[in-house]
Amino acid sequence: MNKRIGLAVVGVGMAAKPHALALKDLEDLIDVRGVYSRSNDARSAFCNEYGFPNARDVQDLAKDPTVDALLLITPPNARSELISLFANEGKHILTEKPLERTTKAAEDIVKVCAASGVSLGVVFQHRFRAASEALAKLVAEGDLGAIRVVRAEVPWWRDQSYYDDPGRGTYARDGGGVLISQAIHTLDLMLSLTGPAISVQAMCATTPFHNMEAEDFAAGVLEFESGAVGSIFASTASFPGDGESIMFDCDNGSAILKSGTLIVNWRDGRVEQFGEAASTGGGADPMAFPYDWHKSLISDFANSILAGHKPRVTGLQALEVHRLIAAIEDSSRSGQKIKIVRK
């Protein structure tokens, strides 16, 4: 394999901009071999703006021997077929979150990629923020001690115009609302630090602020395999929107991770700060965030292919947050505490 990864890109919607900017910065590592979208006009405009080759046939792109991997940026309802197409041609897969609309469909994608012998990475870029990495190091090395209490909050805002886009906030296209489209980043980051959740009791609702099919509000309490307990709050009905946060109360201190900044209050009186404040798309503009995290994630994925090892964020890991979201929704529907079952 060459020292550059040949990459196919499928999807040129709203989420594609940070990927495109990251790919322009990674030209020494990644060679974009073609960009495909069903919309000729949108595809042409995107390729002209970023200087990428325009691929007019997705089948040809999948069979192209110079393509090593696929970057998939489509809505969730257009994932499974495309992943199967490229994986069966031996192409590694990096897909936007979520893997699919349901946990079962997400599990099927993981199985398809495993059967084809290709890597499957997921775009959970919040793991690559400097403050997130600093917190992960403190947790992994045991400096904070055991995590006892966790609080995850996503108080975001979306105008109704956001949900007026056809299919947005529906189960058929997106698989749900605030949980699977927005809070999934924070929930994934939380689980990557705490380990698996084993039960949840929750409530979901659609507030009068939005005309949409799925939920724009979710709240619940969790139990973790480690013995920790926690709470979650997620909404796109919290005007004007604030940064998402994760708070850990641990044996040796507390840690507050918010909008790219980590503050640690140690039990001995020390206070440390890591990272820097950055917008994360919590307000009316969902794309108001830097592309550096995407760049780090894509670079990690490309280098993992070259080195022959797994990327930092795998499809198998992503199933944890899918199962948690499904359990939150099940608990809301049943009014009962739900145990999270792993296969």
pLDDT of residue 260: 85
Of 103, 97, 102, 67, nearest to 85 by C-alpha is 67
Render the burial of 136-165: b for 16+ CB within 10 Å, e for the rest: eebbeeeebeebbebebbbbbbbeeebbee
* CA 201 – CA 219 distance, rounded (Å): 9
pLDDT of residue 256: 98
Average pLDDT over residues 168-173: 97
Contact 244, 282 (CB under 8 A): yes
Judge: domain 127-292+320-339, CATH 3.40.50.620.
Answer: no
Of 235, 56, 226, nearest to 146 by C-alpha is 226
Q: Is the pLDDT of residue 290 over 90?
A: no
Of 204, 186, 183, 203, nearest to 194 by C-alpha is 186
Return all residues near 112 (Cβ < 8 A) that are at least 6 apart. Answer: 83, 84, 87, 88
Q: How are beta strands 229-235 and 217-224 bridged, if at all?
A: antiparallel
* CA 236 – CA 168 distance, rounded (Å): 13
Q: Is the pLDDT of residue 287 over 60?
A: no
pLDDT of residue 341: 87
Reading the block at residue 262, the tokens are: 């980590």
Q: How are beta strands 92-96 and 69-72 bridged, if at all?
A: parallel
Reading the block at residue 132, the tokens are: 């997130």
Extents of the domains making up the chain: 5-124, 127-292+320-339
Amino acid at 252: N
Q: Give residue for tokens 């040949």.
A: 6
Q: Give residue for tokens 């959970």.
A: 124
Reading the block at residue 51, the tokens are: 């200087």
* CA 197 – CA 327 distance, rounded (Å): 10
pLDDT in tens, 44-86: 999 999 999 999 999 999 999 999 999 999 999 999 999 999 9
Q: Is the pLDDT of residue 115 over 90?
A: yes
CATH, range 5-124? 3.40.50.720
pLDDT of residue 1: 45
* CA 229 – CA 293 distance, rounded (Å): 29
pLDDT in tens, 33-51: 999 999 999 999 999 999 9
* CA 246 – CA 234 distance, rounded (Å): 12
DSSP 313: S
